[in-house]
Structure 1
Amino acid sequence: MVEQSKQGNQNAQYQLYGLYVDAMFNVAMRLLTIREDAEDVLQESFVEAFKKLDTFRFESTFGAWLKRIVINRSINHLKAKRLLFASMENEGEPVEEDEKIEDDDFEMEKIKTGLAQLPEGYRQIITLYLIEGYDHVEIGEILQITTSTSKSQYHRAKKKLIQIVKEL
């Protein structure tokens, strides 16, 4: 399908869109949280992907390549709105040891509610690391921050999330 799409086959492009639209919408929603923004970014991402399809080299799956486009577009959208990383003043600060938590202490609904209450920058780090599975080096590249900043922001975000969830 990707090869046919590269050749301009609109039916193949429509099929690719159908295969990936729901998953990519979920990625955009986790990062943006506003449905209309996620829909806009999703459409822009697909347009960009189909325009740049000739650069896709099968070094990864099409889904992984598209997901990277969606994530980058989502982050650029947030940067444009000046919502990303409101506070980075303690860059490079040593990271405290993880607090030990029992899985049974937290219900998934409480965690989702807690995530929604996190500041935007913290939510971005948690989403990229825990949900999307990126490591801190990749997050640093995506967000144009240092690896140590990614790690310290992740640990602060996790600590804040634990605090919010305990209060729920």
Structure 2
Amino acid sequence: MRLTQNYTINDLMEGCKAGDRKMQEQLYKLTSAKMLALCMRYAKDRMEAEDSLQMGYIKIFQKVKEYRGDGSFEGWIRRIMVNTAIESYRKNIKAMNVVPIEDAYEQPSTGFDFSRLGMQDLLKIIQKLSDGYRMVFNMYAIEGYSHKEIAELLGISEGASKSQLSRARAILKEEIIKMEGINYATYAG
């Protein structure tokens, strides 16, 4: 598979393993937009996302020799970025909003057509969530982590993970309904 100029993914990996700055730059150019989008989902703002992105690439270039070829290289990069975002969150955590498990509940579907919601709008809504809710929502709904894995990575209980996911969904539903109302008023007028 050709990626940039005349380089294959194997060329880029080998170049990065050898510490070739040109290959590191090519890998960054190839993957940074997608990885920034990933970091934006975990961060409260663009500056925090860019910090996570830069720290992630430092780790990638330091650990590239450890990549064994199990799974895709992009998947390996993605995992490092997610872990970096989680580490950043854990360093910055002061107090996580935890909803008592008895207050957690599943929300019925809004019937909202998500295809009408632009990616930028969805990202803005996700970024409105508190740090704890945003982390759990992203890890569970987008990255596919189990509640047990989330609990271990964030140092919370499985019940807290489930509770925060439920609350995040409720908040997202409210925000989408507000947006749907605004969009309806805009298009109905």
Conserved? CA contact 1:99–1:159, under 8 Å: no
Mind listing any 5+ residue stretches in structure 1 that lack a counterpart? none
- Counterpart Cα distance in 2 of 1:157 and 1:132: 15
Alignment pair present for 1:19 and 2:36: no
Following the alignment from structure 2 to structure 1, what is the Cα–Cα distance between the partners of residues 124 and 26? 35
* 1:88 has 2:98 as partner: yes
Aligned residues of 1:28 and 1:42 also touching (Cα < 8 A): yes
Structure-2 change in CA distance of 1:10 and 1:111 (3 Å): closer
Provide Cα deviations, 1:105-163, integer angstroms capped at 9, x if missing partner: 99526655543332221122222233334343443343233434322211121012212
Q: Is 1:5 paired with 2:5?
A: no
Give the whole-Å Cα distance in 2 for the aligned partners of 1:98 and 1:106: 20
Match of 1:149 among 144, 160, 173: 160
Q: Say which is worse superposed, 11-20 or 133-142, in terms of deviation.
A: 133-142
Q: Does 1:100 align with 2:127?
A: no
Deviations 1:43-97 (A, max 9, x none): 11111111111211222222222222222222222222225x622262x548534
Q: Which amino acid aligns with 1:35?
A: R
Where structure 2 has 5 or more consecutive residues not aligned to the other structure, the ranges are 1-11, 180-189
54-63 or 97-106: which moved more?
97-106
2:98 alignment partner, SS class? coil
Deviations 1:30-50, CA, capped at 9 Å, x for gaps:
211322222222111111111
In 2 relative to 1, CA 117–13 (structure 1 residues): closer, same or farther, beyond 3 Å? closer
Q: TM-score, normalised by structure 1?
A: 0.79
2:42 matched residue in structure 1:
31
Distance between the aligned counterparts of 1:130 and 1:119, measured in 2? 16
**TM-score, scaled relative to structure 2:** 0.72
* Number of matched pairs: 166
Q: CA shift at 1:4, angstroms?
A: 2.9
CA contact (8 A) 1:106 1:165 kept: no
1:131 maps to 2:142? yes
Q: Percent identity, please.
A: 31
2 CA distance for matches of 1:5 and 1:53? 7
